[in-house]
Structure 1
Amino acid sequence: MRVWKLLGLAGILAGVATGAAVARDERVRRHYDAGEIRERLHARHDEAVAREALARDEKR
């Protein structure tokens, strides 16, 4: 019986920790305005295109 209690407590603690992490990430995500998000997405896209071009050139 004691093992089941410990497993249940561990499950509850894992759920609480996951919820706290999700809430923290949501607060960080909402901190950006639309312009900042757009700039970050464009920068990530440019990096991906550059990596793809570099990989393509290395294959030649």
Structure 2
Amino acid sequence: MRPRGRQWWKLVGLAGAVGVAATGVVAVRADRQRKAYTPDEVRARLHERYTRVYASDDGRRGIEPAPPTWRDRLTGALRRLRRRDARTNQPSARRNPSES
């Protein structure tokens, strides 16, 4: 029995629904595993990773921070623009009081 006409679309929709459900199952499983750690376990793992990285480097050079992301650069540029705008909108201290 071959699917005809609209039956193909029903099969495609069913396959999509199964795919979404499977993705949800995988996400929930990963979330459960992640939440299973206590804060002390997370802290211990982070210290362990740091020690491993620092030991592989032999302390010859410091650990370099990650380069700034596009979001950091955009935030910095907006902050600079706001500062510049705030400086230009301030009233001048040399105004003559009799003019007001």
Same fold (TM over 0.5): yes
Unaligned runs of 5+ in 2: 1-5, 59-100
Larger-gyration structure (1/2):
2
Map 1:19-34 onto structure 2 (within 5 A).
19-34=24-39
Segments of 4+ moved more than 4 angstroms:
none
2:58 pairs with 1:47: no
Aligned length: 52
Corresponding position of 1:58: none
Q: Percent sequence identity over matched residues?
A: 38
The alignment's TM-score, normalised by the length of structure 2, stands at 0.45
More helix per residue: 1 or 2? 1
Q: Which structure ranks higher in relative contact order (CA pairs < 8 Å, sequence separation ≥ 6)?
A: 2
Unaligned runs of 5+ in 1: 55-60
The alignment's TM-score, normalised by the length of structure 1, stands at 0.68
